[in-house]
Every structure is written in C-alpha cells, then in structure tokens.
A and B are shown apart, each in its own frame.
Chain A
Amino acid sequence: MGKSIKDQVAIIGMGCTKFGERWDVGLGDLVIEAAYEAYADAGIDPKDIEACYFGTACAPVVGIAGSAAADALKLRNIPVMRNENWCATGHITLLEACTAVASGLFDIVMALGAEKLKDTGFAGLGTGRGMSPVLEARRTSPGSFGLIAKRYFETYDLTNEQGKELIGKIAVKNHDNGSMCPKAHFNNRVTLEKVVNAPIIAWPLGLFDCCGNSDGAACAIVTRADMAKNFRDDPIYLKGFGISMDSMLPHFRPGFDWLRFDSLVTSSSKAYEMAGVKDPREELDVAEVHDCFTITELVIYENFRFSPWGKARQDVDSGFFTLQGGLPVNTDGGLKCFGHPVGASGIRMTYEIYKQLQQKADKPQRQVKNPRLGLSHTFGGPPQLSAVAIFGNERG
C-alpha cells in the first residue's frame, strides 16, 4: 500500500460561481468566474499556477481536452489535464491536483471543475447513458437511482408511503439549507406534503427527490501544506481521501442487493483510515454527500457509517443530519439546491466544506459551530464510482 498524504496538501483559495440556469454565460465565463474568485481568495497571481487539473464531464464536443480552461484563462505552456469520471469528475480532478502537489512535482496548482448543462437543449442529463448503445439505450439517471428505492423500502419493511416520506424529509432538509445559500440554484423551502405529492420522475422518486440541472463552476488552489500559511492564516488541509470504482453495471452484477455499494464503503473507509477517523458519526463535524437523488443520500448515510445499516430512518426522523443535528449534511442545500453541473459538483461541495471549516459560511444562520473536520463526496455512474475527501482546519 502507498503512503498517506495526510496533512501534506492544503487548499489556500477557492471560488464558486452562482449555480443555476446561466443562459447568458458560457463554459468559459463560468471558468473565469470561479477561477478569479479563487485567485483573489488565495492572494495569488494567475501566473503563479504551475498546472491546471480541469474536470468537465458532458462537454459539448468530443476532444474538448483542457482547451476550455486554457482558452478562457489564458493558461500558457503549463500542463492542463482534463478529467472525466462521471459525477465524481470534480472530486477526482481535485484529488489529482492534491496528489500531484504531494508528489513534489508542483507547488501551486489549480483544480477546476465546470459544466454547462443548459446549452444542451433538454432538461435532464439525457437518455442512453454508459458504455453500450444497446444495453443502456434507455437508461436515465433517475431510472438507475430509482432502482435503489424500492429495494430499500422492501428490505426495511417500509410501505411506499413511509418510504416516500422518509426520503422526502431529506429534500425538505436540503431545501431548508439551500434557502440560506445565495449561490444555490434553488433558494426555496418546501414542505413534506409538497415533496411527496410532486410529479413523479422515476417512481418512487418525485420532482423534489431529484437534483436540478444547472450550470456552474468551482475552483480550488492547492499547495504544499508547509507553504500554506505563506498565503493565508486559515488554509484547509487534506486529511484523507478515497476513490473506489466497482466493476460492472450494477444492473447486471450477480447477487447485488442495491443497498450496500462497495465503492461507497471502500472509498469512505480509505478516507477515514488516512484521516485517522475511527467513528465518522462522532468525529466528522460537517459533510457534503452526493444527493443526486434523496434515496442516494439515504443509502450514503449507512454506507458511510453515519448511521448503522438499516437505521438511517431514525436519524432522519430525529433531525441528526440537519444544521442543528449531530452531523449536519449538505449544509448549503446539496445537489438538491445547487443542481448538478457534473464536473463542478465535487469542487463546489469542497468549497462549502472549506468555507465551513474557515467559519466563513456566507450566511451565519447556516454556519456549523466550531467545525474541525469535514467530508465532501460524489458518487457517479450507473452508480459505480465514489470519491471521498476529508479536510481539517488544523495541521496535525
């Protein structure tokens, strides 16, 4: 096994665009908006960037490479490495930047994630996703994640109504949080009644069980931990990370139960191990997890050991994951309120953790009290791929 890079890398500046239907800006504008906020936050000059890691998943054309970032930002004669890894694109882009710095190859690099979904002319991520034009011809994202819900209800003896209410409460929580986040796409609060009665997208998932489709970009400036305080007093340190990919479309996987996702379990375990976290439920202070659909957030609670297997319901009912709870999750409203511009999301979620750990949440009402350790996470594919990063505000 390789070595730990705990406390060797720090984030010294971040930027995040307003997420939403940004009809009037293009991919390049989003990149500029996120990057220049990050430059200013880090107090660096664009010329200080030694390499750019660029994540975008649904680029409008094949072969976009790193051009969208290089062209917009006038990056010249430095490596610009494009990454595409489904919904974990942003996280893996960020973690590639972190491992590059940890290797000693570069001192200051930029991790940039951007997606312009609203130029495609349709509302969802689309039909026909994955590898095979035949096996996956009609596969959709809600259709794949919706398959989890009925298994969960059945396994834990919930009626359809009880199940819908359970996941509906996650939507209510995330909308409450998002209502206090100016950069979120949606700032509205919703009632449980509205959530459970909303039009069906992929039964039992209704409109409010699904995240929106948005444009957005986010950026992180990453440097060596031992240099971080040269830039600012409150850098955020990478404590641990894990990336894990399962084999095969889960739909065809023999014996798969649709509740325990090995990629979630192993990616979080790796991250906990590197960060020295024994009991994530107790030790983590804030988390941003992949709530592409409410059912996804529910099963993540259990796969990440936030809740015991089959017991997430008690925690949802008791408000354990609300801002006032024991482990606030998706404090900015999550994908539910930000939408999911695929390449940007992982870095956007890390932006929230970064700000929380600096106690600089844009609205004090949603600032978690004295957080030390935070987790951000994305879960991608049919689903198949998970990336977890844990950050802290003190260098150990």
Chain B
Amino acid sequence: MAGIVAYGGYVPALRMERKVMADAWGRGSLGGERSFANNDEDTVTMAVEAAVNCLHGRRREEVDGVFFASTTAPYQEKLSATLVGTVVDLGREVVTADFANSLRSGTGALMAALNAVACGSSKHLLVTAADYRLGYPRSDFEQSFGDGAAALLVGAEDLVATFEGAYCVSDEMLDVWRNPEDQYVKSWEGRFVLGEGYTAHMKEVVAGVLKKYGLKAGDIAKAVLPAPDGRTHTALAKALGFDVETQLQDPLLAKVGHCGAAQPLLMLSAALEAAKPGDLLLVGAYGDGADALLFKVTERIGTRNPRRSMRHLLENKLPFRSYARFLSYRGILEGQPGEPFRLFPSATVSWRERASYLRCHASRCTQCGTTTYPIQRVCYACGSKDAYEEVRISDRLGKVFTFTRDNLGGRSDDPVVVQTVAELDGGVRFYGLMTDCDPEEVELGLPVDLTFRRLYEGAGFHNYFWKLRPLRKGGTD
C-alpha cells in the first residue's frame, strides 16, 4: 500500500501585513499578512527547503525519484526536479519529472507518485511543490497570494498515512489563467470563478470521494481544502456538511496566503503534524476541475516529524514593511542596477563544480581528516593528493566566526550584504552571505545554518548557491 512516509513544509521568513499593501494603493486590506519569497528565493529554493525539512534524519540514498510541481518554475524549458534532487543530494539514478501549469499540479504530482509506488516502479518518491505567483499590483490576488512550498516522501512502508483513494473531475473552463508572456495571473469575473468554478468543482469532488468510499462528512477528521478566500472556504465547508470549528484544516490565508500548487500539500503537512492515528484526511485541490484525495493516519504519526514544524515556520518571520521593495524583489519595479560583476557566470563552471556548489560537498582528507570546503584535490592541511571523500555539509550547523556589513556588494533595493565566515560543525569554514536576517542582529557566535538560494542573474541563467541564515528557535528544532 502506498502512502506518506514523511512530510515537511516551508514558508519564507518574509511577511507583509496586507494593510501595508492596501495602504500603498489607498484601498481596503483583506486582513492578516502574507508570506513572500526573499529576493534570493524562488520555487526551486523553496522546494529544497521543504524537501530538506521533510527528509530530516533520513538517508537520502533511499529516495529513488523526485517530482517538482509549480506554476512558477524558474525555467520554462529545463527540469527543476533535477535541480531540487541534486541540491538535496539524491543519487543519480532517480526518476525526475516536473508538473506544471495548474494549481492541481501539486496533487497531480502526489497522485503520480502514489501510483508509481503502488505499482512498484519506485520505492521512495519525493514530491515537492512550490509557488510564488504574482497578482496584478493593487489587485485582491496580490494580497491573497502567498509564497511557500511543501514536500512529501511517498513510499510503501513505514507510512504515517496511507493513501485510501481519490476522486477527480476534469472540466475545461477559463476562470483563472496566465499566458506565456504574462507576469500576472488573469481571471474572469469573480462570481463565475468562485461559483461555477471553485465552489461547484470542490463540492463535486468532495461529495464524490465520500460517496465512492462510503463515507460521510462526519467521518473526516480534517478537510484540507485550499481556498481563494476565507468566506468562500467557510461557505464550501458548510455546504459539504463539515463542522467549521473542528473539521477544517486552517487554509493558511490569514498568515501565509494561497501558495498555488503547493497549498494542498502545505496544508496536508500541517494537518499531519496535528493528526492522530486513525484520522481520515481529505485533501482537495482546484483548477480546471478538481481532485480529492483520502489519507488515513497510521500509528506511526508523530515519529517522523519534520525538522521544522508549521508552528515554527509561521512564528519564524521577518516583518517587512516596504511595499516598494516588495515590488522590486518580485521584478515588478526595476531598481537602479548595482555594480557590474567582475566574474562572469559560466554554465560549464556550474556544471563541473556541481558537487561543491549544488550538493554542498566538502572534501574530507582520508589521510589527516581535515574537512575543507569547497572540495580540494590537494589537502590544505597535509598536502595529500586526491585522497579525500566527499561529505555533505549543507545540513551542518555553525556559528559566525567573523562578519562585516558590506554596503558595496548588495543590490540597490537590498544594499547591505552581511559577508560572513562561519565555522560549521566539524571545523569546516564556510564563507557566504547571511540571508533572512536583520543585518544589525548578526554577531560573532550567532548560530547559523545553510540555505540554498538564488544568488544572482547573469549570462541568461539563474546562479544558485548556499547562504548562511540565523538559526531560529522554536518548533521542533
């Protein structure tokens, strides 16, 4: 039987009160706050965060496939799943596939993985989903969308939740869409979108899955129903016969927003964190039809916690109050270009050095034991040549050894770069930029971890690398 082995979410640290966005335009606020990706994050980096969270404490070698679902992948032509798999240090012999173009791509990837495991073609498939969609400036979407990611490890044994079945409908309609040249999500009239689109389809699949498996609404412990807004969510739940107080999984709209293709998986991760053995979870997703998936929580729940709980992700936040910088971070406004780079990005360099740059492997000398990053063929300490083994250091914690707040190296919309040298566990020195921080909070000895980020654009492709990040307390850390 296929099901979920492990799970983990990711919500970017940056949050903006919707009132800030509303006030910038002199319009009403939808209330609460939304998450948004830092200027060095995209759907791949967020998916990596979720994947690392999900795979915490597990052997990466056991994963034999990775799927990536998003409507906002960094490339139109080029696999993102491969990049995610490489960065989380999976092996070479893995199945990879991207799922795209729909808010149902997250559940689509999940069902494909469950089926692959059920038929025996894969043993452990990592399903990642991430989105950071853009609504038009001033629009409701701009406020209601959030940025986030989730990852689920799908397998056949040691399950925290078993997959009980699904019910899907497909219905061609233009309610919400985006053309290739569009930056922003378009939509038809709201009443059509919410009435004939979202509500009608979600009702159909939820009722359909309950009927198919002989269940009543009252049998469901938590209904995981992503929704465009709170009112529509509540109305749908009531119409389906769910108890709004006890049976609804928090749609995350007040604190995060709608994270597109990742939303059903992110909400499911949150539901699993709070679930008890025997709970039935119903997961819905909408877009040109709808999906409804049923999971049953097993006795193993609670033994496979992600590294960072949903509570940690929600509480660990950096309030952000500049709407102008939000627009600039998302490429809507173009800030004054910074200094040109002296070093030109190179696809061949990035490819050749992928063990160091992407997998974050250091070299551990087999003669003297010194571990050095990046990989050194000749040992820095003892001079042994080609006598090393590669070790992954991306999951090591560390402390700031020295730093400087550099006003020259940054972008015009984010001018202070905290250049940091950290001493990681095992004595490995790592130099990187500090991200997701208030530059003034950085001090010697500050505990840090590593996070994979998009460094800069150049030569027509995205340049990714690891950064340092203050290690924040809370959750299950």
Contacts and interface: CB of A to CB of B under 8 A. Distances in A.
B184 interface: no
B327 to A, nearest CB: 22
Contact of A202 (B372, B406, B444): B406
Contacts of A201: 406-408
Interface size, A (range): 35 or more
Interface in A138-174: 138-140, 142-144, 146-151, 154
Contacts of A135: 357, 374, 431, 465
Interface string A248-292: 110111111010000000000000000000000000000000000
Q: Which one of B357, B410, B429 has the highest number of Cβ atoms from chain A below 10 Å of its Cβ?
A: B429
Interface stretch (B84-92, B233-241, B270-278, B334-342): B334-342
Given A134-B465, A135-B431, A252-B430, A146 B404 contact: yes
B218 to A, nearest CB: 55
A134 B455 contact: yes
Most B CB contacts (10 A, CB to CB) among A122, A130, A139, A204 go to: A139
A188 B376 CA distance: 47
Contacts of B403: 147, 150
B376 to A, nearest CB: 7
Given A124-B339, A137-B455, A249-B431, A143 B404 contact: yes
A103 interface: no
B233 to A, nearest CB: 42
Interface in B211-270: none
Interface string A113-134: 0000000001010111110111
Contact of B408 (A124, A134, A148): A124
A132 B343 contact: yes
B342 A129 contact: yes
A106 B363 CA distance: 47
Given A128-B343, A254-B372, A138 B431 contact: no
B402 A150 contact: yes
B381 interface: yes
B188 interface: no
B234 to A, nearest CB: 47
A200 interface: yes
Contacts of B421: 147, 251, 258
B402 A137 contact: no
Given A134-B465, A139-B419, A143-B419, A200 B405 contact: yes
B316 interface: no
Contact of A147 (B341, B419, B465): B419
B427 A254 contact: yes
A136 interface: yes
A110 B421 CA distance: 42
Interface in A202-230: 202-205
B345 interface: yes
Contacts of B370: 254
Nearest to A210: B408
B163 interface: no
Interface string B145-183: 000000000000000000000000000000000000000
Nearest to B433: A138
Contacts of A139: 409, 419
Interface stretch (B113-121, B190-198, B288-296, B346-354): B346-354
Interface in B401-459: 401-410, 417, 419, 421, 427-431, 433, 444, 455-456, 458
Given A147-B419, A154-B444, A133 B406 contact: no
Given A127-B408, A252-B429, A143 B417 contact: yes
Given A137-B465, A256-B429, A143 B444 contact: no
Contacts, number: 141
A164 to B, nearest CB: 13
Contacts of A203: 404-407
Contact of B429 (A154, A247, A254): A254
Give the bracket for the number of chain B residues in contact with chain A: 35 or more
Given A124-B339, A134-B455, A140 B350 contact: no
Contacts of A258: 401-402, 421
Given A248-B380, A254-B429, A255-B427, A202 B339 contact: no
B75 interface: no
Contact of B407 (A122, A134, A202, A255): A202
Among A134, A143, A149, residue most surrounded by chain B Cβ atoms (within 10 Å): A134
Given A137-B463, A146-B404, A127 B431 contact: no
Nearest to B372: A254
A143 B353 CA distance: 24
A304 B346 CA distance: 40
A124 to B, nearest CB: 5
A144 to B, nearest CB: 7
Nearest to B406: A143
Contact of B344 (A122, A129, A133, A142): A133
A317 B25 CA distance: 56
Given A139-B419, A154-B444, A149 B342 contact: no
B339 to A, nearest CB: 5
Contacts of A146: 404-406, 419
A150 B419 CA distance: 12
B110 to A, nearest CB: 33
A199 B405 CA distance: 12
Given A127-B338, A127-B342, A248-B380, 17 more contacts: A127-B340, A127-B409, A132-B349, A134-B350, A134-B463, A138-B406, A138-B419, A142-B406, A143-B404, A146-B404, A146-B405, A147-B403, A252-B372, A252-B373, A254-B371, A254-B428, A256-B429
14 contacts: A127-B340, A127-B408, A133-B346, A134-B353, A137-B343, A137-B465, A138-B419, A140-B409, A143-B408, A143-B409, A202-B419, A252-B373, A252-B431, A253-B429
5 closest Cβ contacts across the A-B interface?
A146-B404, A251-B431, A143-B406, A128-B341, A133-B343
